[in-house]
Amino acid sequence: MKKWVLSGSAILNPDDTSEKVNIQIENGRITLVSKKEISSSINITTRGIISTGLINAHDHLLGNYYPKVGTGNYVNWLPWDNDLKSSPLYQERSQIENRDLYMLAAYKNLISGVTIVSDHMPHFVAEPYYDILPVKAIREYTLAHSVNSFALKWGDDIDKEYKQAVELDIPFITHVSEGFDSETVQDIVTLDRKGGLGDHSVLIHCLAFSESDMDLVKKKGSTVVWCGDSNMFMYNRTAKIKEMLERKINICIGTDSPMSGGENLLYEMKFDKKLYKKLYGDELPDETIYRMVTVNPAKGFRLYDSGTIKEGNIADFVVVKDRGGSYINSVVSANLKDIMLVVINGLPAYGDIEFAELFDSLNIQYQEVVMDGVEKAIIGDLKGLLRRISRAVGFKKQFPFMPLEF
C-alpha cells in the first residue's frame, strides 16, 4: 500500500488537540504524527478537523429501514417486536435481500463519519456480509440477545459466552434491563448470577437500573450503551445517564436501528444532548459526548488500536468541517454535509469530490454522487443499491438517513 500524508487545520483526540499537524499513513496504520512537514508523493491538505473515526456502539444492520414502527410506551422489547413483525413495513422490508439491507445500513453509518459499528446479531446471520461492507463491523464478540426467559435464542448459555469472551479478550454483548416488567427489572441480578457480568460485558439500553444495579455495574467494570432516541420512542424513558456518569461508568452511544431509533450517529449525538438537557436541566458536555463515540467504545469493545489518533493505531479518520467554536463541538454538532472525508484502514471510503485526487492516487474506485446537495465520492455502487431496493419493493424508496439523488 502506498504511503501518504494527511494534513489538517487540527487533529482531535478526546484528551488532546493539536493544530496544523501532519499524519503519515502506511499499510493501514498511522506511522507518524508530526508538526513538521513529512515528505510524501501523496500529500492531502484539508481545512477541516481531523478526528479519529466515530464508533457506533449499537446497531442492528439487518434491521435498518424506515420509518419507525410502533405505538410507544411498551413494557419491554417483545410487544414492540410483535408490532414490528406484524406491520406492513416489515413485509415491505422482507422483500429486500439481506445483503442489500446490510449494505444500506453500512452506507448509513459511513456517510455519518462512522468507521466502526457494533452489529448486534448472531454470527451465522451477520458473517456472510461483513467482508463486503464499506465500513468495519466488529467481528470478534460473544453475545446473548437478552437475559430474560423470553429472550431470542442467540448464542450459547450466558456463562459459556462470557467465559469465551474473557478467554479471547473480546466483548460479550447483550441487551439488559430493556423494560419494566417484574422479570426485566431484575436483569442485572440475573446476568450476574448466570456469570455474564464483568469487565468484558457491553450492556445495551439499561433502562430500569436501580441505584444498586448501577453500583454493581460500576464494581464489575462493565460498559453501558445509551440509545436515547430508541428508548424514548419505545418506552418514553431512557437510562439514568447522569447517575452513571457520576459513577464513572464507561458509557457509549448507539443508534439502534432507524425502525425505532436515531437516523444516524450524528443525529443521535444531537438528540442525546437535547434529551439530557430536558431530563436534568444541565448541559451534557461536548467532550463527554465525543468520548462516548470514540475512546469509550474502543475501550468497551477491546479495540486497543482504535479510538485515538496516535502512532501505531489503525488509520481510521473522519474529517469534519470546522463550524467555528470548539473543535469537539464541530464533530458533536456535525450534519451530513459537514462530513468532508472518511478514511478506513488507511484508505479513503467517502468524501467531498475535492478529495477525488486521493482516491485516484491510491487506485481506489469510486462513484460520484450528490449527497444532501453536496458532490461526493464514495466507494462501491450506492446508487445501484438504492435502485435494487426500489425494484424489490416496487416503488422509489427513499430514506432520510440517505439523502442521495438517484
pLDDT tens digit sequence for 103-141: 999 999 999 999 999 999 999 999 999 999 999 999 999
d(CA 34, CA 349): 24
d(CA 75, CA 346): 45
pLDDT over threshold 80, residue 239: yes
DSSP secondary structure letters along 270-298: HHHHHHHHHHHSS---HHHHHHHTTHHHH
pLDDT, tens digit, for every residue of 132-173?
A: 999 999 999 999 999 999 999 999 999 999 999 999 999 999
pTM of the model: 0.98
In contact, 30 and 389? CB cutoff 8 Å? no
User: Topology of domain 4-53+307-389, per CATH?
Assistant: Urease, subunit C; domain 1 (2.30.40)
Name the segment(s) of the chain with CATH classification 2.30.40.10: 4-53+307-389
Name the segment(s) of the chain with CATH classification 3.20.20.140: 54-300
**1 confidence band (pLDDT: 50, 70, 90):** low
Q: Please compute, for residue 400, the number of CA atoms within 13 A of its CA located in the half-sphere on the CB side.
A: 12
Query: Helix %, strand %, coil % for the chain, to 5?
Result: 35, 25, 40
Domain 54-300: CATH architecture, name and number where available: Alpha-Beta Barrel (3.20)
pLDDT, tens digit, for every residue of 374-401?
A: 999 999 999 999 999 999 999 999 999 9
Mean pLDDT of 194-211: 98
Mean pLDDT of 292-296: 98
In contact, 113 and 265? CB cutoff 8 Å? yes
